[in-house]
């Protein structure tokens, strides 16, 4: 836990200087940006648990990988954002309450672009996977404030309504991108929600 706290404190100071995915803005409105992202590589973990617990467990596994728990004992520079997405329940035969408990959380760390997928060392933890995310267009809303479900839900609805008004079709689940640590004051945080554009 001390390692995680130390890393998150560092991320809080360095988030805006850290390497981020490369993109071009292809459409801009008062509410949102449509960005074309270049391919990037992620280390990712899927955890089935309550959201707060799942996020903490996933973060711990990913921090372990970038801090040397890999086949080369290699350490990597921190990047941003940390991306997370709730994966839909695999079972349709559940009540809403059960479905909530069975959802899985996908958490991703961006890997430095100096390392293509083929050059990355193998994770020692088999739950950590490496993957290249292909080029994609994403509709993005940026906002500050807490990571509360109400703040997230409010801005997700604003994004969806703006996309509907603009006639932009989307697909897939929303991705929550966090650029700062929990040590960053809520009013200074940069948060984004990404939705894939068809």
Binned at pLDDT 50, 70 and 90, residue 16 comes out as low
For the segment 160-197, what is each residue's pLDDT rounded down to a tens digit?
Answer: 999 999 999 999 999 999 999 888 999 999 999 999 99
**DSSP bridge pairs for 192:** 142, 177
Backbone Cα Rg of the chain: 17
Per-residue burial over 54-66, b = 16 or more CB atoms within 10 Å of its CB, e = otherwise: bbebbbbbbbbbb
């Amino acid at each position: 836990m001390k390692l995680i706290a130390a890393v998150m404190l560092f991320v809080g100071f360095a988030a805006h200087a850290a390497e981020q995915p490369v993109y071009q803005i292809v459409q801009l409105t008062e509410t949102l940006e449509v960005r074309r992202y270049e391919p990037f590589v992620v280390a990712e973990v899927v955890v089935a648990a309550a959201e707060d617990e799942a996020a903490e467990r996933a973060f711990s596994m990913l921090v372990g990988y970038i801090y040397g728990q890999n086949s080369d004992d290699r350490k990597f520079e921190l990047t941003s954002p940390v991306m997370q997405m709730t994966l839909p329940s695999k079972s349709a035969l559940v009540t809403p309450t059960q479905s909530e408990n069975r959802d899985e959380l996908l958490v991703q760390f961006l890997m430095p672009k100096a390392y293509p997928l083929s050059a990355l060392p193998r994770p020692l933890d088999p739950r950590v996977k490496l993957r290249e995310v292909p080029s994609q267009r994403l509709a993005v809303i940026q906002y500050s404030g807490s990571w509360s479900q109400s703040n997230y839900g409010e801005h997700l609805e604003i994004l969806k309504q703006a996309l509907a008004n603009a006639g932009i079709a989307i697909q897939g689940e929303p991705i929550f991108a966090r650029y700062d640590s929990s040590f960053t004051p809520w009013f200074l945080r940069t948060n984004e929600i990404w939705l894939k554009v068809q």
